[in-house]
Structure 1
Amino acid sequence: MNPHPGGPPGEGALAALTAEHRGRVMALARDVALPGGTRIFEEGEKADRFWIIRSGTVALDIQMPGRGRVVVETIGAGGLLGWSWLCPPRQWHLGAEARDPVRAWEFDAAAVRDLCAADAALGLSLVTLIAETIGDRLRATRTRLLDLYGPSGPQRSGAAP
């Protein structure tokens, strides 16, 4: 019997890890279900866990003065939700809300950090994977904010005519 229903442990965000490393991380997974509309975390709150989405979608948002929450990215099946747990001060940089019912594997951040400390090769692989996720999120946030607030049309300040 598969201890992680909804697909093999190698699917999604951890697929780049070796089978051994993936298995060791997945041994820490806890199956969770989140109803649609659930606020999973808020900007500035303590980041003490992360998730791999198995089904459903999660909207990442940022608080914009005068506009409220603005969605900067949507994460679906196979996506990694949460990276702020990795580095101090371990506070969420964005907010997250389940757009519809979500099934996910949830990981206790302290347990994963301990696993990484005990196995440098696993730690490097996981940090590399998370760094790629951070880069993707930064690009998505930049694109979304430019869509919302950037100059319209091809002429931009300082651009050649």
Structure 2
Amino acid sequence: MNSPPTIVAALPAAYRERLIQLARETSFDAGARLFEEGGRADRFWVVRTGIVALDLHVPGRRAPVIESLGHGELVGWSWHFAPHVWQLGAKALHPVQAWEYDAVAVRALCSQDPVLGRAVAVWVGQVLAHRLHATRTRLLDLYGPSGGGGS
């Protein structure tokens, strides 16, 4: 499956500019956890530099990395859908610089401008579809009939 669209590919410049007004620059050291599966999804990030690994809790096993995200990619989609709970975990593999967005503020902006809101929803939906596919593929690789399962 192809990579999900980056923010540049997904949103017209005017919408990116409106969103960037809500962002704050942030950074994470290598090894830092951005969020844990099951936690409150009240923000999201767009990676500027570095790599973020998405992982999945598997009882009795080390959390497998589902996907690695880089420049321009959306980290977190759970903020967009109630009940706003993280479905995966995320960890900085290398030092990361990112734009951080407050989910409540972005959802309010999307409500105020339905055209922008639709563009954001389509982008997040495309990312979600990609992540579901990546998760399924990774879990089959690890735990399917021919998978090693011993990570």
Match of 1:30 among 17, 24, 31: 24
Distance (whole Å) between structure 1 residues aligned to residue 140 and residue 117 of structure 2: 34
1:62 paired to 2:29: no
Count of residues in Structure 1 that have an aligned counterpart in Structure 2: 143
1:52 paired to 2:46: yes
Aligned to 2:3: none
Q: Shift of residue 55 of structure 1? A: 0.7
> Which amino acid letter does the alignment assign opposite residue 82 of structure 1?
G
User: What percentage of aligned pairs have identical amino acids?
Assistant: 53
> Which amino acid letter does the alignment assign opposite residue 29 of structure 2?
P
Higher RCO (CA-CA < 8 Å; seq separation 6+): 2
Distance (whole Å) between structure 1 residues aligned to residue 15 and residue 72 of structure 2: 17
Could you tell which deviates more after superposition, 133-142 or 19-28?
Answer: 19-28
Q: Shift of residue 64 of structure 1? A: 0.7
Where does the alignment leave 5 or more consecutive residues of structure 2 unmatched?
1-5
Q: Shift of residue 68 of structure 1? A: 2.6
What is the TM-score with the length of structure 1 in the denominator?
Answer: 0.85
Q: Shift of residue 14 of structure 1? A: 4.0
Q: Shift of residue 13 of structure 1? A: 1.9
Greater share of residues in helix: 2
Question: Equivalences for 1:93-104 in 2 at 5 Å?
Answer: 93-104=87-98
1:71 paired to 2:78: no
1:105 paired to 2:99: yes
1:81 paired to 2:104: no
Checking the alignment, whether the CA contact within 8 Å between 2:7 and 2:16 is kept in structure 1 is no
Q: Shift of residue 20 of structure 1? A: 1.6
Question: Equivalences for 1:125-144 in 2 at 5 Å?
Answer: 125-144=119-138
1:125-155 Cα distance to aligned partner (Å, 9 max, x none): 00000000001101111110010011129xx
Aligned partner of residue 136 in structure 2, secondary structure: helix
Distance (whole Å) between structure 2 residues aligned to residue 81 and residue 15 of structure 1: 15
Match of 1:90 among 81, 84, 94: 84
